[in-house]
Amino acid sequence: MIENAPRCAAPLRRRPHRRSAPPPPPALARDAAPAPQAERRRPRRRIRIRELVLIVDDSLHTRNLYSEYLTFRGLGVVSSPDGGSALVMARALRPDVIVMDLAMPGVDGITATRHLKADPRTRDIPVVILTGFGYRAIEMGALEAGADVFLTKPCLPEDLEQEIRRVLTAGS
């Protein structure tokens, strides 16, 4: 063995796991007063401090990109992969703005927008269409379905945020 060679550390040994015994129940005295019952608490209302944006897109990368950016910029964000689940989420959460893609499996963006605008619970929620189809006829169809804004991809997150904030201030 070489004298100046560094020595290897001893292998780590696991300590045996010791379970502590549960504490004994408190002793009950015969003359002790019964413990007061816990007060019934009302369920708390959820108070939203920031605006909530629902992002609907079948591309996970697109949802993550815009979700992370908008969250970083102070907005609350939830996302959905298709129009059918977006309708359910919109009715349950009542977001302040919905960012919707057009081409999705199942319920597409125009059909989902029509359903949102026909429902009295969600008709006042602004819808921003964000799609890769930049054709004028598609834009007109989306606006006729009830969309408030039509944007085409690729769209910088800053531009999307600007449109969301503009729609939010217009609705206030």
Is residue 163 a contact partner of residue 149, using CB atoms and an 8 Å limit? yes
Given this model, what pLDDT does residue 24 score? 59
pLDDT at 151: 96
Distance, CA of 86 to chain centre: 11
pTM of the model as a whole: 0.71
Contact 83, 106 (CB under 8 A): yes
pLDDT of residue 16: 56
* pLDDT computed for residue 1 by the predictor: 47
Per-residue confidence of the chain (172 residues) as pLDDT tens digits? 455 544 544 454 555 555 555 565 555 555 555 555 555 565 555 555 689 999 999 999 999 999 999 999 999 999 999 999 999 999 999 999 999 999 999 999 999 999 999 999 999 999 999 999 888 899 999 999 999 999 999 999 999 999 999 999 987 6
pLDDT of residue 134: 84
Beta strand ranges found along the chain (DSSP E):
52-56, 76-80, 97-100, 127-131, 149-152
Q: Is the peptide bond before 22 cis (omega within 30 degrees of 0)?
A: no
